Amino acid sequence: MKKLVLIVGIVICFALVPLVITKAYVLNLIILICLYTILSHSWNILGGYTGQISLGHSTFFGIGALIFRYLWTLGIPPYFALCGASISSLVLASIIGFPSFKLKGHYFAIGTLALSMIAIVTVQNIFPGVSFPPPQHLAKYNLVPIYYMALTVAVITIGLVSFLNRSKLGLAFVAIREEEDAAEAIGINTFKYKVISMTLSTLIAGLGGGLFSFYVASYYYYVPFELGWSFDPVLIASIGGAGTVAGPVLGSIVFVILKELFAISLGQMNVLIFGIVFIFTVLFLPKGLIGIIGMVQGVRKSQDVSAKKR
Amino acid sequence: MLRFIQILSYGLLNGALYGLVALGLSLVFGVMNYLMIAHGGLIMMAAYITFWAFFYTHIDPFLFILVVTPLFFIIGWILFKILFQSLMKFPEGEKIKNSLLISFGLLLIFSNLAILFWTADERAVTTVYSGKVLDLFGVRLPYIGLGGVAIAIIVIIALHLFLTRTYFGKAIRAVSLDHEAATLMGINVNKVCLVAFSIGFALAGIPGVITSLHAFNPAISFDLTNKALIVLILAGVGSIKGVLIGGFFLGAIEAAGVYLVGTPYREVFGLILFVLILMFRPQGIAGKKA
């Protein structure tokens, strides 16, 4: 109960931010953190919990952005368009994503990487131009509605993942991650649960894509399909700690702030330094930043999970 | 018809290069289960080093293979010691994820170093025989491409012989089958992995030199990795002979795509083939059933 009050309090605090702070820079940062939280949690459900390392999330993110923009220019209100975007990426997943579960282990990673490369080349060829938002939106461009949409989607996402973390469904996912054959042997229908995991993951990725399209005014159609959108969530989840609720949130905060700091202070060199920092995080923090907190508290997530299993 | 043969022969010449590009990746992936997506970045770096060395010395670029290959062997040795050795203790899934992430970091570093040193402009080494072609019954074959094919065949045969005929090659193959069993047989797995990884790096130098003769820029690294992954799957993981066949096959398929649909969809053809192979024949076209 105490925890619930705390969470509601935090959400209300964030909801009040635009009333207090009118600096666009701060709002931009929070929107970006929300966007990356959504995307990395989307990856986290499939990669962190279920153990299916997907490198194809840019496809689902991109299709969400594409459909959102299309529906929005037709005059559909943004929140409905967002639902449409989310469903469209689920449809895409059911066409190309579910068959990819025939691939196991590293083949899944390589296969989904190929999917995202097919997507970007195809989009570059079909839509070579620049995408514009509806003109009436551009005329009174304002960050506040975008901020609220980002916050709403992020809260929904985090809520869903924390529900997952406590539910039987989440345990089934973890069982598949730890040992797929053993999970099958104790009566978990691994294919069914993998499909559920993929469904949730792509729905959220579609929401993220829609948010991107609502936030960024005009961009080349292929931009949300860029491979960065596939790798960044893997990176963020690893920095924060994959397979946890707080990990990707923490990771997104660190990711966005570090990127900003490096871009300001280092200029041209920023990606270079970023690469180095990133490598060292993977090498020395295998459980991510959340692992440090776990070590300090002496409470290990893994022990927690194994206690739950019994 | 002549146009088709022309496109196909270009495709096959490209295919030999794809085979070479995939060779190092295939070796590292086969022996250690490391997914080195930075491989394309290495090739790009080798191309820039060749370009730069040619700019100052004007020695025939093919001779730089003798310099670049040992240099990359040493770089591979150092990077393995610093970055990749600690990954060996992880289980398979973690190993793939972590090596993927680290090599992605490396890829970022390489492409930014290249932009920093040589800018993002498109470059190419221009020799006296650049652009010269061999006219074979109306089909025009560039000498550079033919040189690439010759080198690809020599290197792949040499690597195949090394892996099958020498004692150390046998050890590498044993480690790729089973780390623990290899340890029990008295093989120093750490050392074998170190050498195999460094050879993988060295094998990035050779296609790098050939790439430098075509137009290249820092952005090609991902494209090359992509080609290498396709060939790796076509060939079947760990199959060295298959790499050459896979490379030619990819080249031919891309050529068919260019002939039927047009150049913009060249990549898509290769990738769709790749997904189909992954789904229905994951052991590769040349590989045995697992």
In a domain, residue A12? The reply is: no
Q: Is A243 helix (H, G, I), strand (E, B) or coil?
A: coil
Confidence of residue A54 (pLDDT cuts 50, 70, 90): confident
Q: Which residues of B touch A (CB under 8 A)?
A: 33, 35, 83, 86, 92-94, 96-98, 100-102, 104-109, 112-113, 115-116, 222, 226, 229-230, 232-233, 264-265, 267-268, 271-272, 274-275, 278-279, 282
Confidence of residue A310 (pLDDT cuts 50, 70, 90): very low
Task: Tell me if B86 and A282 make a contact (CB, 8 A cut-off).
Answer: no
- The residue with greater pLDDT, A270 or A216, is A216
Give the per-residue pLDDT at B276.
79
Confidence of residue A303 (pLDDT cuts 50, 70, 90): low
Task: Tell me if A113 and B233 make a contact (CB, 8 A cut-off).
Answer: no
Q: Is B257 helix (H, G, I), strand (E, B) or coil?
A: helix
Q: Which residues pair with B135 in a beta bridge?
A: B140
In a domain, residue A4? The reply is: no
Rounded to the nearest angstrom, the minimum Cα separation between A292 and chain B is 18
Task: Tell me if B108 and A234 make a contact (CB, 8 A cut-off).
Answer: no
Residue numbers in A near B232 (CB within 8 A): 110
Weakest-pLDDT range from A1-10, A201-210, B172-181:
A1-10
Q: Is A220 helix (H, G, I), strand (E, B) or coil?
A: strand
CA atoms within 13 A on the CB side of B8: 8
**Which residues of chain A from 254 to 283 reach within 8 Å of chain B, CB to CB?**
268-269, 271-272, 274-276, 278-279, 282-283
Give the per-residue pLDDT at A106.
72
Give the per-residue pLDDT at A40.
93
Give the per-residue pLDDT at A37.
93
Most confident of A27-41, A92-106, B100-114: A27-41
Give the per-residue pLDDT at A36.
93
In a domain, residue A191? The reply is: yes
Average pLDDT over residues A143-150: 87
- Which residues lie below 8 Å from residue B131, measured CB to CB, with a gap of 6+? B142
Residue numbers in B near A124 (CB within 8 A): 264
Best to test chain A binding among B94, B224, B278, B281 (most A CBs inside 10 Å): B278
Task: Tell me if A279 and B274 make a contact (CB, 8 A cut-off).
Answer: no
In a domain, residue A177? The reply is: yes
Full domain range(s) for residue A240: 29-296
User: In terms of C-beta density within 10 A (0-12 exposed, 13-18 middle, 19 or more buried), how is residue B67 classed?
Assistant: middle
**Which pTM was predicted?**
0.83
Residue numbers in A near B112 (CB within 8 A): 268-269, 271-272, 275
Greatest Cα pair distance in chain B = 59
CA distance A243 to A231: 17
Rounded to the nearest angstrom, the minimum Cα separation between A256 and chain B is 17
Rounded to the nearest angstrom, the minimum Cα separation between B86 and chain A is 8
Q: Which residues of chain B have pLDDT under 70?
A: 282-290
What's the one-letter identity of residue A273? I
Nearest CB to B279: which of A47, A99, A278? A99
CA distance B28 to B71: 18
For chain A, how many structural domains are there in total?
1
Average pLDDT over residues A73-101: 84
Nearest CB to B271: which of A103, A118, A269? A118
CB atoms within 10 A of CB A115: 24
Residue B288 phi, psi dihedral angles, 5° rounding: -85, 160
Could you tell me which of A234, A240, A224, A218 has the C-alpha nearest to residue A292?
A240
Q: Is the pLDDT of residue A38 over 90?
A: yes
Give the per-residue pLDDT at B290.
43
Rounded to the nearest angstrom, the minimum Cα separation between B106 and chain A is 7
CA distance A104 to B42: 28
Domain ranges of chain B: 2-220
Task: Tell me if B33 and A106 make a contact (CB, 8 A cut-off).
Answer: yes
Mean pLDDT over all residues of chain A? 84
What's the one-letter identity of residue B66? L
Task: Tell me if A118 and B222 make a contact (CB, 8 A cut-off).
Answer: no
In a domain, residue A166? The reply is: yes
